[in-house]
Amino acid sequence: MRNVGKKAKFTANQIELAKSYIKNLDLSTKEAAGIVVLMFNNLKLTGEQIALILGVSASAIDRLMKKFRRGELKDKTEKNLGGGRNHFLLTLQEEAEILNPFFENAKKGELVGIDELKQAFEVKLGCEVTQDYMYKMLKRNKWRKVVPDKEHPKNDPEKAEEFKKKLFPRRFAWLPLSL
């Protein structure tokens, strides 16, 4: 005959291990809902008591039961399909195909401008795209912005030297400390 009436004894380590199993329980799965429904039905526990056992809030148990009644729960094997690129103009592969000739030019050391890329994409799409779209697309495809030296395009070294000579005449260029 089985010892049904005896109280089970567990070590502190076993209790901590059991708690770690419960922490990893995904409350959006059918398995978790099955456990909770059986706790409600067979053990006659309240939502607050179940929440205390599982280490979640009572409102989490309420949400789980609503999803269970509506049939909105997923299997343990189902992947979460939320998020991602739900609205896009081109697939990642199509974007890479358009970028490929520019990539070859960049390998040769040529700079690739956003205007050239934008024009190529607009030809492919048949509609206008924003620069914001282009910058995000480049980031998606792991391109980085290379900035040339910090020299103004209208910089004229001769004019700069002339300005220095006018502003700082030679006689004031150096002065002794003790005057």
Count CB neighbours of 30 within 10 A: 15
Per-residue pLDDT tens digits for 136-173: 888 888 888 766 667 777 888 888 888 877 776 555 44
Q: Where are the domains of the chain?
A: 13-70, 92-140
Q: pTM for the whole thing?
A: 0.40
Fold topology of 13-70: Arc Repressor Mutant, subunit A (1.10.10)
User: E strands, the chain, where?
Assistant: none
Per-residue pLDDT tens digits for 18-72: 777 777 777 777 888 888 888 888 888 888 998 888 888 889 888 888 888 888 7
User: E strands, 55-107, where?
Assistant: none
